[in-house]
């Protein structure tokens, strides 16, 4: 893998003389208190400004400050006109724009396309404080405010919309967000390396169009850069002949082609995911009208010293004082947690983490993590001695990596653990166990909980880890995500078979018994994932009933931009293998609202509100034998008064009740 310039090795910008701000300024008054006459960079975000390393805008802002730049924040501005984008004046170098920690459409709408009434990233959980497609709207307002100021877009919304992509909310393929936003540069993935390079080159008065060589960025060009051999992969039936050229780029089908051809869309999606390993990825090029979208290879992973440097920046670890102590749910959720890693090599087809953070795990050192635990203890208001989580995208991938550097550099697998765990993947949980022990030994720490999801197919490789987890780090419930029980949907999700869950549960139950505890597994499942039939959901519901699970919270598949499962949803093709027009196997997906709600109802078979829907479906499926009071039957034939669509007679005596979101101890 090529070397990268260390994050903190750049010569600092002259404005470093102003020192470190207690909070990055959100007003002219704060700028004047710091002695600033202007900002070098202004960051615009759809989230409230919380100066904490769990919020991407805070990380980018503090990192740019550490490089010597004066950085201001415009958080959740009004967007009906450009005036709110002028409150800090014109930035000397550029605007940095993000929709926030979540894609704005995912944040604002449910999987049924219903408008949410709340927003966890907003003071007092108030909804409606960010626009639809926030990156586009904010960028356009920045352009209206200061026509000639460069605009850099980033964050997960830009990252997942960097090429032509299917948009669930409009039910069509949209252009790269770089075009619709009228921005100059798009930064995708973890943005530290790219944003620092852009800032220092902008400070040298380099134009954005001259920055076409920065990894992790996309630009619109009139033509491909000189010196590159363009491999034409627009036809899924034809593979270009291998070449020995050092500088090769892969041409994807154009926006106009994928707009009208689902097969070409699936082919382009597969190609983009195959070019996601920083060790071997080639630039991608995709025609949009008369412009070429040039997508550089992904950013190189941060080293452990760089991760330590980022998370060791002088965060205030609190919301900006302008919010006057208002409740911000996202902050309350993470204020006592510590991130120990980035990335995920699971590659689940429905998940956006791999597309954004990458497959290679980036780890912090023990010393850095323990120092942050002490900072939580000493600086966070309301701390009671309980760390709510030390983890990341996955709880138990800390220091797990490929054991063969050459194989890692050349690998194009979409997952390190599917269809089976790669023989080259190190699965030693020893360093994580040692970290847990040191974390709970920090003075003043009463308990360290694990709130991140545990990857159970990895955990079964280390019974000692499961024992450590159960003995010290579970607070009554443990989240895991088998997602389904049936092999068809699981294979398209790129998840292990249910047998892996069974092996984990056996080890978990044994550890619980040995520890003398009363703990429960909380499994997560997805309804209406591509490739899931009504029969698959019925079998899952019967499995839940046999195992006495009554789920309170369930998830319906939401096609997020760029995910492989979204490609399946839109195209009906399987991008996990080469896409061919003649392939007779197409993926059937629950697309209509009625069927999607049915799949969700199967997950909540115990809810009387769902019984009429389930009885109707069972009859249509020829499974009326599952209607009745028997243990083997799914729903009763009667209906409690005031529920569902009918009023029923006196019900038989109930045999159990739901206990929160956990396994019921009575009969289902």
Q: Are residues 273 and 378 in the same domain?
A: no
664 has pLDDT over 80 = no
Taking the C-alpha atoms of residue 310 and residue 321, their distance in angstroms, rounded to an integer, is 23
Confidence of residue 368 (pLDDT cuts 50, 70, 90): very high
Q: Are residues 98 and 151 in the same domain?
A: yes
Provide the whole-model pTM. Answer: 0.94
Taking the C-alpha atoms of residue 411 and residue 398, their distance in angstroms, rounded to an integer, is 21
What is the per-residue pLDDT for 319? 97
CATH of the domain at 196: 3.40.50.2300
Q: Are residues 176 and 269 in the same domain?
A: no
Q: Are residues 418 and 555 in the same domain?
A: yes
Query: Does residue 655 form part of some domain?
Result: no
Confidence of residue 79 (pLDDT cuts 50, 70, 90): very high
What value does the mean pLDDT of the chain take? 93
DSSP at 184: S
Query: Does residue 302 form part of some domain?
Result: no
Neighbouring residues of 219: CB distance < 8 A, sequence distance ≥ 6: 178, 184, 185, 186, 208, 209, 211, 212, 293, 294
How many separate domains does the chain show? 3
φ and ψ at residue 71, rounded to 5 degrees: -120, 125
Query: For 247, how many CA atoms within 13 A lie in the half-sphere containing its CB?
Result: 8
Of residues 4, 609, 633, the one with CA closest to residue 300? 4
pLDDT in tens, 445-458: 999 999 999 999 99
What is the per-residue pLDDT for 293? 98
Confidence of residue 657 (pLDDT cuts 50, 70, 90): very low
pLDDT in tens, 597-625: 999 999 999 999 999 999 999 999 999 99
Mean pLDDT across the stretch 375-389? 94
185 vs 241 pLDDT, higher one: 185
649 has pLDDT over 50 = no
Residue where a domain terminates, one of 266, 282, 297? 297
Taking the C-alpha atoms of residue 414 and residue 189, their distance in angstroms, rounded to an integer, is 17
CATH of the domain at 381: 3.80.30.20
Q: Are residues 292 and 348 in the same domain?
A: no
φ and ψ at residue 591, rounded to 5 degrees: -105, -40
Residue where a domain terminates, one of 187, 211, 235? 211
Q: Are residues 260 and 345 in the same domain?
A: no
Taking the C-alpha atoms of residue 474 and residue 451, their distance in angstroms, rounded to an integer, is 9
What is the per-residue pLDDT for 470? 96
What is the per-residue pLDDT for 241? 82
pLDDT in tens, 491-524: 999 999 999 999 999 999 999 999 999 998 989 9
Query: Does residue 314 form part of some domain?
Result: no
What is the per-residue pLDDT for 651? 41
291 has pLDDT over 60 = yes
What is the per-residue pLDDT for 645? 66
Mean pLDDT across the stretch 353-373? 94
Residue where a domain terminates, one of 185, 211, 237? 211
Taking the C-alpha atoms of residue 90 and residue 151, their distance in angstroms, rounded to an integer, is 12
What is the per-residue pLDDT for 655? 34
What is the per-residue pLDDT for 363? 98
DSSP letters of 497-556? -HHHHHHHHHHHHHHHHHHT---EEEEEEEES-TT--HHHHHHHHHHHHHTTB--SS-EE
Q: Are residues 286 and 194 in the same domain?
A: no
Q: Are residues 206 and 227 in the same domain?
A: no
DSSP at 331: H
Query: For 69, how many CA atoms within 13 A lie in the half-sphere containing its CB?
Result: 30
**Token duo for residue 222:** 């009139």
Query: Does residue 620 form part of some domain?
Result: no
What is the per-residue pLDDT for 381? 87
Q: Are residues 117 and 14 in the same domain?
A: yes
Query: Does residue 535 form part of some domain?
Result: yes
Query: Does residue 583 form part of some domain?
Result: no
What is the per-residue pLDDT for 646? 47
pLDDT in tens, 84-143: 999 999 999 999 999 999 999 999 999 999 999 999 999 999 999 999 999 999 999 999
631 has pLDDT over 70 = yes
Query: Does residue 475 form part of some domain?
Result: yes
Q: Are residues 149 and 245 in the same domain?
A: no
What is the per-residue pLDDT for 3? 83
pLDDT in tens, 303-359: 999 999 999 999 999 999 999 999 999 999 999 999 999 999 999 999 988 888 999
Query: Does residue 106 form part of some domain?
Result: yes
Containing domain of residue 183, as a range? 7-211
Mean pLDDT across the stretch 519-545? 96
φ and ψ at residue 501, rounded to 5 degrees: -65, -45
Q: Are residues 359 and 468 in the same domain?
A: yes
What is the per-residue pLDDT for 297? 97
Mean pLDDT across the stretch 190-217? 97
Q: Are residues 568 and 498 in the same domain?
A: yes
Residue whose token pair is 């090599």: 345
- How much of the chain exceeds pLDDT 70, in percent? 96
DSSP letters of 240-266? PPP---SSEEEEPPPHHHHHH-HHHHH
- How much of the chain exceeds pLDDT 90, in percent? 90
DSSP letters of 21-48? -SS---SHHHHHHTT-SS-SEEEEESS-
């Amino acid at each position: 893998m090529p070397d990268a310039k260390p994050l903190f090795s750049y010569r600092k910008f002259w404005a470093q003389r102003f020192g470190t701000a207690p909070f990055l300024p959100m007003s002219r008054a704060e700028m004047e208190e710091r002695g600033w006459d202007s900002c070098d960079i202004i960051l615009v975000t759809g989230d409230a400004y919380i100066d904490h390393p769990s919020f991407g805008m805070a990380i980018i802002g503090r990192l740019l400050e550490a490089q010597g730049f004066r950085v201001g924040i415009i958080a959740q501005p009004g967007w009906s006109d450009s005036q709110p984008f002028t409150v800090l004046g014109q930035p000397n170098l550029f605007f940095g724009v993000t929709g926030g920690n979540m894609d704005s459409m995912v944040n604002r709408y449910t999987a049924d396309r219903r408008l949410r009434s709340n927003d966890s990233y907003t003071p007092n959980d108030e909804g409606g404080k960010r626009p639809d497609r926030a990156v586009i709207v904010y960028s356009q307002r920045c352009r209206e405010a200061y026509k000639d100021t460069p605009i850099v877009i980033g964050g997960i919304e830009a990252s997942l919309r960097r090429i032509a992509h299917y948009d669930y909310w409009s039910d069509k393929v949209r252009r790269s967000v770089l075009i619709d936003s009228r921005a100059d540069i798009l930064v995708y993935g973890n943005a530290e390396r790219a944003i620092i390079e852009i800032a220092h080159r902008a400070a040298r008065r380099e134009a954005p169009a001259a920055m076409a060589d920065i990894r992790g960025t996309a630009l619109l060009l009139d033509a491909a850069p000189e010196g590159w051999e363009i491999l034409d992969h627009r036809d899924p039936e034809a593979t270009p002949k291998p070449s020995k050229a050092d500088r090769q780029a892969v041409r994807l089908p154009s926006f106009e082609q994928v707009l009208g051809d689902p097969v070409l869309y699936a082919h382009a999606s597969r190609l983009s995911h195959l070019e996601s390993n920083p060790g071997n990825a080639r630039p991608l090029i995709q025609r949009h009208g008369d412009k070429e979208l040039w997508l550089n290879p992904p950013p190189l992973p941060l080293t452990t010293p760089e991760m330590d440097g980022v998370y060791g920046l002088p965060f205030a670890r609190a919301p900006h004082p302008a919010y006057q102590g208002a409740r911000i749910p996202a902050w309350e959720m993470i204020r006592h947690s510590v991130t120990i890693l980035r990335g995920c090599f699971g590659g689940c087809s429905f998940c956006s983490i791999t597309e954004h953070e990458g497959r290679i795990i980036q780890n912090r050192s023990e010393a850095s993590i323990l120092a942050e635990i002490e900072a939580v203890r000493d600086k966070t208001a309301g701390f009671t001695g309980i760390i709510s989580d030390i983890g990341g995208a996955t709880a138990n991938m800390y220091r797990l990596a490929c054991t063969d550097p050459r194989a890692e550099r050349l690998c194009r697998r979409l997952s390190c653990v599917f269809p089976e765990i790669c023989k080259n993947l190190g699965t030693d949980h020893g360093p994580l166990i040692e970290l847990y022990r040191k974390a709970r030994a920090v003075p003043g720490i009463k308990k360290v909980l694990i709130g991140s999801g545990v990857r159970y197919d990895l955990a079964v490789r280390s019974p000692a880890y499961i024992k450590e987890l159960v003995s010290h780090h579970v607070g009554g419930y443990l989240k895991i995500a088998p997602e389904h029980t049936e092999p068809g949907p699981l294979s398209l999700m790129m998840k292990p078979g249910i047998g892996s869950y069974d092996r984990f549960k056996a080890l978990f139950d044994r550890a619980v018994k040995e520890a003398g505890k009363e703990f429960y597994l909380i499994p997560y499942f997805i309804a209406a994932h591509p490739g899931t039939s009504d029969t698959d959901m019925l079998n899952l519901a019967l499995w839940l009933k046999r195992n006495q699970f009554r789920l309170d919270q369930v998830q319906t598949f939401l096609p997020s931009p760029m995910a492989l499962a979204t490609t399946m949803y839109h195209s009906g093709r399987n991008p996990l293998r080469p896409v061919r027009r003649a392939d007779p196997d197409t993926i059937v997906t629950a697309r209509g609202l009625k069927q999607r709600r049915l799949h969700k109802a199967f997950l909540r078979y115990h809810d009387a509100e769902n019984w009429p829907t389930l009885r109707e479906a069972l009859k249509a499926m020829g499974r009326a034998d599952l209607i009745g009071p028997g243990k083997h039957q799914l729903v009763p034939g009667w209906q409690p008064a005031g529920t569902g669509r009918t009023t029923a007679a006196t019900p038989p005596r109930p045999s159990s009740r739901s206990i929160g979101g956990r396994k019921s101890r009575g009969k289902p």
